């Protein structure tokens, strides 16, 4: 895992300074190269091919191609063999060099052959083109902006902001993006909270003409597959979990005792693959410890555990908010950063179970949405929407309208109401913008979490928490072949009777039913408890309201007093704080 950055033109000094804003993404080596037309920079976290010859930016033998690459290609050895059979010759043991040869052999079509997570930029010097690519699920971020003909990109928003300042670009909050942020708790791609900056969507190739700055973008095709049986899908997942272990450094596992991480642990230990696991015992959650201890004992898993409470939160809070540049409403960022920091003391890579909930229907709302498959997407406002969001009499009747939206088969309204951090505190305009955004991808009701929450919430949180700790996170359940199989096979299970039926059925082949079929909570923090006890939160929340209110980015008249808001709409506490720090850190 690494950090990449680049800009058209000769801007070596600017790139060096901008790359420092996310130096933690790659503390092992940093470099900048420029030919006067394009300047590329790279911060390296060495995982595959530890030899210095694998450092980046990397060029091919005749220097017609240059690359900066963030991520890992798990099938790079197989691709290297295929390329060598075509006459290519690799001189390093890295997956980065394989990408250079793959582009030379197959051009943009190489993305269909890659199995991994990546955000990369290839500078084709002979064609005068800069080619940016993102992976199948958007596990690795890539932000970009343009000022005139000058194009720039980076792994983090703050890197692009630094370059924008260097070339005289304007940095301002995007009010419509903020409307969507208040409604959903994140800003979906391709928007960011800033007018001038965009984030590349998943499965995307963006080509920039270096001379003119003209950009062309296209989404590459999904993998085609047929619906698999449970046994076939289980065999596929077992293969892919093992494939994600490729590395020249130790690999660990984030282990919570939930279905996804327990399945990964069980697959590995059943094959005598020993892996060190890392777990958190959250304050006032003794049931988590009991379950992950029981599962770890059953599969003979070695676990390093740490406690996370008020003291630990206050220890890391200033560090996280000082770096944040992209806001969302998920408080689990803080315990996940704490866990990442602990793991980074022992390994450079961890496997996680992310993607299981979103692609295998793991939320309570998944059961309701499964009964709306086939219903028209209600992207525009309906009478029920106006009644809920525009009528004071019905504001706050969340449970009632969840039932009404479900009964009348309004999937987008139902989804928005269940996931929104602000719910009855939204303005009609915010509700409308969010619904249109949710309808923009023409997603089926059961794929809304995968299309929006996963890409824009979960994966951003994972990348931020782990990269702030110089730790690489890999997500086997988001392998393109698993995603394609899940999308092809889910309809046969509908309507659902329980959450995550496929993965639980697989896990039951390794664990007793008492450890499989049970409830589990995530890493979310108890906002009222932390708000009352932390030495930072109450003071910071007051500062956030003053700052956002002065800039008219929040409607203070709609907010209840702090303790009421934290009790009724706890996610809005984190949403407000992280927006405040993201804007303040950007100098807005």
Residue 214 has a pLDDT of 97
**Which CATH number fits the domain that encloses residue 310?**
3.40.50.620
- Sheet bearing 197-199, strands edge to edge: 29-34, 38-44, 2-8, 150-154, 143-147, 197-199
Q: Which of 462, 494, 516 is the last residue of a domain?
A: 516
Same-domain status, 26 and 121: yes
3-state secondary structure 2-49: EEEEEEECCCHHHHHHHHHHHHHHCECEEEEEECCCEEEEEEECCCCC
Task: Tell me which residue of 155, 43, 72, 186 sits closest to 582, measured CA to CA.
Answer: 186
Assess contact for 44 and 26: CB atoms under 8 A.
Answer: yes
Write the DSSP string, 299-367.
HT-EEEEEEESHHHHHHHHHHHHHH--S--S-TTHHHHHHHHHHHTTT-SEEE--TTHHHHTT-SHHHH
CA 102 to chain centre: 26
The answer to the question of whether 95 is labelled as a binding residue is yes
Q: Does residue 268 fall inside a structural domain?
A: yes
Tell me if 313 is assigned to some domain.
yes
pTM: 0.96
Which residues have a catalytic role annotated? 2
Residue 48, in any domain of the structure: yes
Please report, for the chain, how many H helices and E strands are present, in that order. Answer: 25, 17
Do residues 141 and 193 share a domain?
yes
Answer yes or no: is 369 within a domain: no
What is the total count of domains within the chain?
A: 4
Please give the pLDDT value at position 558.
81
- 540 and 490 assigned to the same domain: no
Cβ contacts of residue 85 below 8 Å, gap of 6+? none
Closest CA to 201 of 214, 210, 188, 213: 188
Query: Per the domain annotation, does 210 fall within a domain?
Result: yes
209 and 240 assigned to the same domain = no
Residue 366 lies in a domain: no
Do 68 and 208 share a domain, yes or no?
yes
Total Cβ atoms within 10 A of residue 451: 18
Tokens of 417: 């109401």
The pLDDT of residue 246 is 97
Give the C-alpha separation, 53 to 261, whole Å. 35
Torsion 42-69-586-129 (CA) sign: positive
Same domain, 72 and 185: yes
**Do 465 and 321 lie in a common domain?**
yes
- Are 69 and 143 within one domain? yes
Integer angstrom CA distances of residue 34 from 10, 59, 101, 107, 235: 6, 12, 21, 23, 46
Out of 402, 420, 443, a domain closes at 443
Residue 162, domain member (yes or no):
yes
Domain containing 554 equals 527-585
CB 226, CB 171: distance < 8 Å: no
Q: Six-digit token pair at 246?
A: 């490729």
Q: Is the backbone of residue 587 left (phi > 0), alpha (psi -120 to 50) or beta?
A: left
pLDDT tens string, the chain, 588 residues long: the values are 799 999 999 999 999 999 999 999 999 999 999 999 999 999 999 999 999 999 999 999 999 999 999 999 999 999 999 999 999 999 999 999 999 999 999 999 999 999 999 999 999 999 999 999 999 999 999 999 999 999 999 999 999 999 999 999 999 999 999 999 999 999 999 999 999 999 999 999 999 999 999 999 999 988 988 888 889 999 999 999 999 999 999 999 999 999 999 999 999 999 999 999 999 999 988 777 788 889 989 999 999 999 999 999 999 999 999 999 999 999 999 999 999 999 999 999 999 999 999 999 899 999 899 899 999 999 999 999 999 998 888 988 999 999 999 999 999 999 999 999 999 899 999 999 999 999 999 999 999 999 999 999 999 999 999 999 999 999 999 999 999 998 886 545 545 567 888 899 999 999 999 999 877 667 889 999 999 999 999 999 999 999 999 999 988 888 888 989 999 999 999 999 999 999 999 999
One domain for residues 45 and 191: yes
Q: Could you tell me the two tokens for 483?
A: 């995603």
Whole-number Cα distances in Å, 27 to 32, 45, 191, 349 = 14, 6, 29, 14
Phi first, then psi: give them for residue 42, nearest 5 degrees: -150, 135
DSSP string covering 381-446? --HHHHHHHH-GGGTT-HHHHHHHHHHTT-HHHHHHHHH-SSGGG--HHHHHHHHHHHHTT---GG
The reply to whether 578 falls in a domain is yes
**Phi and psi angles of residue 488, each rounded to the nearest 5 degrees, phi first:** -80, -30
- Could you tell me if 75 and 170 lie in one domain? yes
Are 436 and 453 part of one and the same domain? no
Same domain, residue pair 27 and 163: yes
Torsion of CA 495, 497, 499, 504, to 10 degrees: -110
Pairing of β 251-254 and β 349-351 = parallel
Dist. CA 478–CA 486, nearest whole Å: 10
List the CATH number of the domain containing 34.
3.60.20.10
**Domain end position, chosen among 481, 516, 551:** 516
């Amino acid at each position: 895992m690494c950090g990449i950055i680049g800009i058209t033109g000769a801007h070596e000094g600017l790139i060096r300074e901008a790359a420092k804003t996310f130096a933690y993404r790659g503390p092992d080596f940093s470099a900048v190269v420029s030919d006067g037309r394009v300047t590329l920079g790279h911060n390296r976290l060495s995982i595959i091919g530890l030899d210095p010859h694998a450092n980046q930016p990397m060029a091919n033998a005749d220097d017609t191609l240059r690359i900066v690459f963030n991520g890992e290609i798990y099938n790079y050895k197989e691709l290297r063999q295929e390329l060598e059979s075509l006459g290519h010759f690799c001189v390093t043991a890295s997956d980065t060099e394989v990408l250079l040869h793959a582009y030379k052999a197959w051009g943009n079509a190489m993305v269909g052959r890659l199995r991994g997570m990546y955000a990369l930029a290839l500078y084709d010097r002979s064609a005068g083109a800069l080619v940016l690519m993102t992976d199948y699920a958007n596990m690795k971020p890539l932000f970009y902006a343009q000022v005139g003909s000058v194009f720039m990109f980076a792994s983090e928003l703050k890197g692009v902001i630094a370059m924008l300042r260097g070339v005289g670009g304007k940095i301002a909050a995007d009010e419509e993006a903020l409307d969507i942020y208040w409604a959903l708790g994140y800003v979906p791609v391709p928007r960011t909270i800033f007018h001038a900056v965009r984030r590349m969507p998943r499965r995307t190739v963006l080509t920039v003409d270096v001379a003119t700055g003209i950009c062309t973008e296209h989404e590459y095709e999904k993998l085609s597959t047929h619906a698999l049986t449970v046994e076939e899908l289980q065999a596929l997942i077992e293969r892919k979990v093992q494939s994600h272990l490729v590395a020249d450094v130790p690999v660990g596992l984030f282990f919570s005792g939930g279905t996804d991480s327990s399945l990964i642990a069980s697959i590995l230990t059943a094959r005598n693959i020993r892996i060190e696991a890392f777990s958190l015992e959250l304050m006032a959650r003794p049931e988590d410890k009991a379950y992950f201890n029981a599962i770890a004992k059953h599969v003979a898993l070695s676990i390093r555990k740490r406690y996370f409470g008020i003291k630990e939160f206050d220890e890391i809070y200033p560090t996280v908010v000082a770096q944040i540049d992209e806001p969302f409403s998920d408080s689990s960022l803080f315990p996940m950063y704490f866990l990442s920091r602990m793991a980074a003391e022992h390994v450079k890579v961890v496997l996680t179970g992310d993607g299981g909930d979103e692609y295998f229907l793991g939320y309570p709302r998944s059961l309701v949405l499964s009964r709306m498959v086939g219903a028209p997407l209600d992207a525009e406002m309906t009478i029920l929407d106006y009644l809920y969001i525009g009528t004071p009499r019905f504001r706050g009747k969340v449970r009632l309208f969840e039932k009404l939206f479900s009964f009348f088969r309004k999937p987008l309204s139902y989804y928005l109401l269940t996931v929104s951090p602000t719910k009855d505190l939204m303005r009609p305009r915010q509700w409308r913008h969010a619904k249109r955004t949710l309808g923009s991808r023409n997603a089926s009701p059961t794929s809304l979490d995968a299309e929006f929450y996963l890409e824009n919430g979960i994966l951003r949180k994972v990348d931020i928490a782990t990269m702030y700790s110089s730790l690489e996170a890999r997500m086997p359940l988001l392998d393109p072949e698993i995603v394609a199989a899940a999308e092809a096979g889910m309809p046969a299970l509908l309507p659902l009777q329980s959450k995550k039926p496929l993965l639980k059925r697989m896990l039951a082949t390794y664990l007793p039913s008492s450890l499989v079929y049970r409830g589990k909570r995530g890493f979310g923090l108890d906002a009222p408890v932390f708000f009352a006890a932390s030495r930072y939160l109450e003071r910071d929340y007051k500062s956030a309201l003053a700052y956002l209110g002065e800039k008219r980015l929040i409607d203070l008249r709609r907010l209840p007093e702090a303790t009421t808001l934290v009790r009724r709409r706890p996610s809005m506490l984190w949403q407000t704080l992280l927006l405040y720090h993201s804007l303040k850190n950007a100098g807005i």
